[in-house]
C-alpha cells in the first residue's frame, strides 16, 4: 500500500517536469542569442554607413590569425576572433590568397573572407588596341609599370605551341623551334590584370583569349578552305592595318587573296612601315626596295608573318572575303576601289596627290 501511494503522489512527478521545461526554454533562448550574436559578428559590417575604403595587403604566407588581427587593427572588422572562426568553419582556412584587396568597414567578415579566399585582388584595366604590334604592346605595358618592353618582347617570343593547338602550324627552323614570334596571336581587348602580373602571365592571358575568339566554326572553315591558321592570321594582320570598316576589310581580303592566287605582289605600304617602324601612308620608292621578307613590294606572297595583332573583324574578313571585280584600292580614311591599274592611278591622282 505504501508503494502505491508513493507512485500516486502527483506533486513528485509534476515539479521536476516544469523545471525541465524551464531549463529547456532557457537553453533555447541562450542558443538563439548565441546564434544571433555570431550572425551579427559575421554578417553585419563594423560600420554599415562608412564610405571609407582602404587597400589591404595580404602578404604571402600569412594565415587567418595574422589577416584577422591586421583587419581588426585597421578598424575594418570588430573582431579578429570571429574572422578566424568563420574562415575555419567555412573551410576557407587554407584558401586565403595573397594580394592587394579593397576593403571597407561597410563590408562584413563574410564578404571580406570571400574576397580574400576567391583572390579578388585589385586589378588594373589594360587596353590593347587592334593593330598594335608586339613592340606597341610592350611600350604600353612599360608605361603602365607592368613590365618592360624588352621583357614583353622576350615573353612573346617563347614557344607556347604545347599549350595551344592554333600555334602548331607556326613556321619552324631546322631545330624544330618556331621561327616566328606570337605577333598576330596576342588578341586585342580590355584585360583586367592583378598587381604583380608577369609578362609571361599576360601573354598567356592574351593567347587564351585568342583561343576563345577563334571558334570551332572558324577553324573548320579555315580547314575547309585548305588554309593554315598562320596564313589567315597573317592576312588578318595586313587587313587590320590597311582599312577600317568590316565591309572594306572583306573586299580588301578578296583582293589580296586573288593577288596571291595569281602570284601578284601584294604591294602593301603597311608591311614597309612594319619594317621601318614608321607610319607613312605613302612610303617612298627607296623603302619599297628594302630587302626584307616582310617587303610585299619586293617579294610576292604573304610576308614572313603577321605585322600586327588584329581584331575579330579582320580575322572574319580574312576567312570570309567578299568576291568583287576589284584588283586595286587606296585609302585616305575612305577606301576607293578600282578594277584596273589605269583606274587606280586616276584615283591616286585625284585623292592622294
CB burial of residue 244 (10 Å; 0-12, 13-18, 19+): middle
Q: Are 99 and 194 in contact (CB under 8 A)?
A: yes
CA torsion 251→254→257→262, rounded to 10°? Answer: -120
Section 228-247 average pLDDT: 97
* Length reported for the chain: 353
Lowest mean pLDDT segment, chosen from 142-156, 190-204, 296-310: 190-204
pLDDT number for residue 351: 87
Section 327-352 average pLDDT: 93
Section 91-110 average pLDDT: 92
pLDDT number for residue 2: 46
335 CA to centre of own chain: 33
Section 25-32 average pLDDT: 86
pLDDT number for residue 328: 97
Section 139-158 average pLDDT: 96
Output the CA–CA distances (angstroms, integers) from residue 259 to 188, 222, 236, 289, 336, in the order listed: 28, 19, 15, 20, 17
Mutual angle of helices 229-242 and 246-262, in 10-degree steps: 120
- The residues, any chain, with a CB within 8 Å of residue 330's CB and separated by 6 or more, are 336, 344, 347, 348, 351, 352
Q: What are phi and psi of 87, to 5 degrees?
A: -65, -30
SS3 at position 65 = helix
Q: What is the mean pLDDT of the chain?
A: 92
pLDDT number for residue 215: 98
Q: What is the 3 state secondary structure string of 70-114?
A: HHHHCCCCCCHHHHHHHHHHCCCCCCCCCEEEEECCCCCHHHHHH
pLDDT number for residue 7: 46
CATH fold for domain 54-121: Dna Ligase; domain 1 (3.30.1490)
pLDDT number for residue 278: 87
Alpha-carbon distance 232 to 184, whole Å? 10
pLDDT number for residue 3: 52
Q: Which of 117, 212, 149 has its CA nearest to residue 204?
A: 212
- pLDDT higher than 80, residue 72: yes
Amino acid at each position: 500500500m505504501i508503494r502505491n501511494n508513493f507512485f500516486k503522489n502527483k506533486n513528485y512527478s509534476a515539479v521536476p517536469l516544469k523545471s525541465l521545461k524551464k531549463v529547456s526554454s532557457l537553453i533555447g533562448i541562450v542558443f538563439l542569442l548565441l546564434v544571433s550574436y555570431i550572425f551579427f559578428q559575421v554578417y553585419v559590417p563594423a560600420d554599415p554607413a562608412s564610405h571609407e575604403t582602404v587597400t589591404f595587403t595580404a602578404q604571402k604566407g600569412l594565415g587567418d590569425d595574422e589577416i584577422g588581427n591586421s583587419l581588426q587593427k585597421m578598424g575594418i572588422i570588430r573582431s579578429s576572433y570571429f574572422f578566424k572562426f568563420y574562415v575555419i568553419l567555412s573551410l576557407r582556412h587554407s584558401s586565403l590568397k595573397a594580394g592587394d584587396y579593397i576593403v571597407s568597414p561597410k563590408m562584413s567578415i563574410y564578404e571580406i573572407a570571400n574576397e580574400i579566399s576567391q583572390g579578388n585582388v585589385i586589378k588594373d584595366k589594360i587596353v590593347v588596341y587592334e593593330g598594335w604590334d608586339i613592340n606597341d604592346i610592350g611600350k604600353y605595358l612599360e608605361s603602365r609599370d607592368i613590365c618592360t618592353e624588352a621583357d614583353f618582347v622576350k615573353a612573346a617570343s617563347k614557344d607556347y605551341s604545347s599549350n595551344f593547338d592554333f600555334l602548331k602550324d607556326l613556321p619552324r627552323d631546322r631545330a624544330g623551334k618556331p621561327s616566328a614570334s606570337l605577333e598576330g596571336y596576342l588578341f586585342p581587348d580590355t584585360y583586367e590584370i592583378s598587381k604583380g602580373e608577369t609578362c609571361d602571365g599576360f601573354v598567356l592571358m592574351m593567347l587564351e583569349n585568342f583561343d576563345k575568339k577563334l571558334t570551332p566554326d572558324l577553324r573548320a572553315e579555315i580547314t575547309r578552305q585548305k588554309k593554315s591558321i598562320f596564313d589567315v592570321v597573317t592576312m588578318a594582320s595586313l587587313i587590320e592595318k590597311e582599312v577600317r570598316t568590316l565591309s572594306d576589310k572583306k573586299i580588301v581580303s578578296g583582293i589580296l587573296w586573288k593577288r596571291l592566287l595569281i602570284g601578284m605582289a601584294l604591294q602593301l605600304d603597311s608591311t614597309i612601315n612594319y619594317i621601318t617602324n614608321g607610319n607613312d601612308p605613302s612610303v617612298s620608292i627607296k623603302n619599297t626596295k628594302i630587302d626584307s621578307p616582310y617587303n610585299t613590294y619586293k617579294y610576292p606572297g604573304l610576308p614572313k608573318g603577321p605585322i600586327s595583332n588584329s581584331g575579330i573583324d579582320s580575322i572574319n574578313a580574312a576567312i570570309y572575303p567578299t568576291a568583287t571585280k576589284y584588283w586595286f584600292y587606296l585609302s585616305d580614311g575612305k577606301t576607293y576601289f578600282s578594277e584596273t591599274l589605269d583606274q587606280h592611278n586616276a584615283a591616286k591622282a585625284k585623292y592622294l596627290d
